[in-house]
Amino acid sequence: MTFLWFLEGIRTPFWDRLMQLVTYFGQEIIIIAVICTFYWCVDKRFAYLLGYTYFTAGLMVQTLKITFRIPRPWILDTDFHAVKSAVAGATGYSFPSGHTQGAACLFFPLALRTKTIWLKFLYVFALVSIGFSRMYLGCHTPKDVLASLAVSVVIAALLWHFQSFLLDDDRFLKAATLIMILISLLTAVYALYLNLNGTIAAKYAADCLKASGAGLGFAIGGYLERSYLKFEPRKGSLQTQLLKLSAGLLFTALIKEGFSLIFGSSILAKTLEYFILVLWVLIIYPSIFSKLLRRTP
């Protein structure tokens, strides 16, 4: 908490607004939008690698959250105050940092992918800045950020190293799918068990179950796409690509925001929401635009 007290002492309205903007780039909406852009229009293989990294690390981080159950800094020390605008988005337990996990799973693979030095620096700077913003805003301690960074970077590095097994050799597709399904189901069962025996409240189990639903959707959707659909992301003119991306992101946002209006916001409804959302991204929407492209003269 000492470092957070120091940061609270140097806060200004300008830096509060700037750090709130920086932290936004670690939110799931940004990660999903980038994965969709790569997947639908640019580089499907790299999008799969981002997906494996993001969803695997997300399951790990959410499991650690409900295992250690460390409260947010302003709960640990009632005299400490986070930046007010950041509190609403700080759901769940504090350790490890979910925003840092999202940032690491996006920007670290991007840094590995590019061969341009200044871009590598930019991606690493973005990652470090997002982690710092979580501490500046008072939402996480250095331990939260560093633990999340370590977990996410290790997972990203391992998947990067073994990407040819995951993405280029279909002999391992079923095994990789089953492993992801198993990890997702075990995480869901663990969260439900802790919730049902009174260890954690439903709101803390919810984030874990959302990660489980997304992991299941990624495993099943990815298997179906790679086994049967095998769509080509770069087909069509630039105008067609922009229309495809815009329409896809719009409907993705509608699913994410509208699902709870119809089915409620229970933890099981949230699990189903993220399961369907990832299926939409990976297999449903690509099936739709693949059929439309075939009909276009």
| Percent of the chain's residues with pLDDT above 90 | 76
Q: How confident is the model at residue 295, as a pLDDT?
A: 67
Residue 70 has pLDDT above 80, yes or no: yes
Both tokens assigned to 230? 């095998």
Phi, psi of 88 (to 5 degrees): -60, -35
Rounded-to-integer distance, Cα 13 and Cα 104, Å? 27
Instruction: Report pLDDT digits (tens) over 225-236.
Output: 999 999 999 887
Higher pLDDT, 237 or 126: 126
The residue ranges of every structural domain in the chain are 2-295
Name the strand (E) or helix (H) holding 138. Answer: none
Q: For residue 250, how many other CB atoms are within 10 A of its CB?
A: 10
Q: How confident is the model at residue 296, as a pLDDT?
A: 58
Yes or no: say if 114 and 120 are a contact pair by the CB < 8 Å rule: yes
Verdict on whether the full-model pTM lies above 0.85: yes
Which pLDDT band, with edges at 50, 70 and 90, does 297 fall under? low
Instruction: Report pLDDT digits (tens) over 249-269.
Output: 999 999 888 888 888 888 889
Both tokens assigned to 37? 């852009």
Rounded-to-integer distance, Cα 43 and Cα 41, Å? 7
Q: How confident is the model at residue 2, as a pLDDT?
A: 84
Rounded-to-integer distance, Cα 108 and Cα 116, Å? 14
